[in-house]
Amino acid sequence: MRQLYLNRAIAEAVAQEMKRDERVVLIGEDIINRGGGMSTFLGVYDQFPDRCLDMPIAESGFTHFGNGAALAGMRPIVDLMFSDFSALAFDAIVNGAAKFRFNSQGEACVPIVYVMVNGGRGAYTGGVGSGCNHSQCVEGWFQNIPGLKIVAPYYPSDALGLLKASIRDDDPVLFLYAEGSLGVREAVPEEMEPIPLHHAAKIMREGTDLTIVAVQAMVPTALKAVEELEKAGISAELIDPRVLIPLDLEKITASVRKTRRLLVVHEAPSRGGIGAEILSAVTQEALRDMKAARVLGAKNIPVGSGFAESLIIPQVEDVVRAAREVIAQ
């Protein structure tokens, strides 16, 4: 085991997959000189200079370029830096990559991974917020699109294993890593196997009174909330889905059938978010077993910069309060 920061885990996954498969290429802005906008690919260019391509500041253009490379037999990794910038590449992802397999009647596949940092910088954990154009969570934008897979890890070991699996996948994958986790360090095995994208949910804490499903940056927040609830005699089971599409509905539903209560917590606003989709899916499977459920998300306003981010995104006390309300129903 060694200690690995999240950005190093991403760089290691990419380098290992490029070594394993010569079809893997890395494209994006500042890849060569800075290792990408978040320095998540440091050292990759040094090892594979002929397969790292710097792109102009034109996300809508080089994302289509990546799609073309995938259709031509390559396995591109497209770095979009901030997930907010995926709005500029929406056409390529939604009207292009997500539909090529369907439109070709299964003859064409698009093995492409769009890598981007998702959510706030972590003002709720002592960081400084990046503002409304660099702090959005975009999983809700894309969850309605058939043909896409959405991966959303928080911890370095999960990022390493899930990114390797994403690169090997034959379908387009949105790989979202949390901006607030860039400084997170964790013990990671020397040899990390790919983590399958199916059935990927991980039970972080076992409990009997309430199931909490926490998405990405809300996992460490929910962990602290679980500890506070435990002091009050409330046993909460915490699940990190890690992959949002395909969702590990089986594991989440089994937990809810046991606890009979569900709280979904995510950093994005509640309206139209992944939390409502998770709640809906679980309800369809286990309605008769459920006593209460709710979704806790950010306030319905753009994310403020600086310390204001922490006033908008759910805090530990918000999770504790919401959990108590669900328990009381």
pLDDT in the model for residue 211? 98
Strands 185-188 and 2-5: antiparallel
The whole-chain average pLDDT of the chain stands at 94
Calpha distance 242→84 (Å, rounded)? 20
pLDDT in the model for residue 299? 93
Closest listed residue to residue 110, CA positions, set 64, 155, 171, 63: 171
pLDDT in the model for residue 227? 97
What is the tens place of the pLDDT at every residue in 108-127? 999 999 999 998 876 555 66
pLDDT in the model for residue 305? 81
Angle between helices 249-259 and 274-286 (to 10 degrees): 70
- For residue 212, which phi and psi values (nearest 5 degrees)? -110, 120
Q: Identify the three-state secondary structure at position 87.
A: helix
Global pTM reads 0.96
Q: Is the pLDDT of residue 283 over 90?
A: yes
In the sheet that holds 292-298, the strands lie side by side as: 202-205, 236-240, 210-214, 261-269, 292-298
What is the tens place of the pLDDT at every residue in 284-312? 999 999 999 999 999 999 988 878 888 89
The angle formed by the CA atoms of residues 308, 313 and 317, to the nearest 5 degrees, is 105
Token pair 């910088």: residue: 121
In the predicted model, what is the mean pLDDT of residues 11-36?
95
Question: Does residue 90 contact residue 111 with C-beta atoms inside 8 Å?
Answer: no
pLDDT band at 183 (very low <50, low <70, confident <90, very high): confident
Token pair 């909460």: residue: 236
pLDDT in the model for residue 37? 82
Where do runs of H (alpha helix) occur along 50-204? Answer: 59-71, 90, 98-103, 139-142, 156-168
Angle between helices 218-231 and 316-328 (to 10 degrees): 60
pLDDT in the model for residue 153? 97
Closest listed residue to residue 116, CA positions, set 66, 151, 91: 151
User: And the tokens for 242?
Assistant: 């890690």
Question: Does residue 129 contact residue 309 with C-beta atoms inside 8 Å?
Answer: yes
Going by C-beta distance under 8 Å and a sequence separation of 6 or more, which residues neighbour residue 170? 109, 110, 111
In the predicted model, what is the mean pLDDT of residues 230-251?
98
pLDDT in the model for residue 1? 80
In the predicted model, what is the mean pLDDT of residues 257-284?
96
Which residues form the catalytic set?
A: 59, 134
Question: Does residue 117 contact residue 69 with C-beta atoms inside 8 Å?
Answer: no
**How is residue 145 annotated by DSSP?**
-
> Within a 10 A sphere around the Cβ of 194, how many other Cβ atoms?
18
Calpha distance 180→126 (Å, rounded)? 10
Domains of the chain, earliest start first: 2-188 (3.40.50.970), 202-328 (3.40.50.920)
- For residue 89, which phi and psi values (nearest 5 degrees)? -105, 15
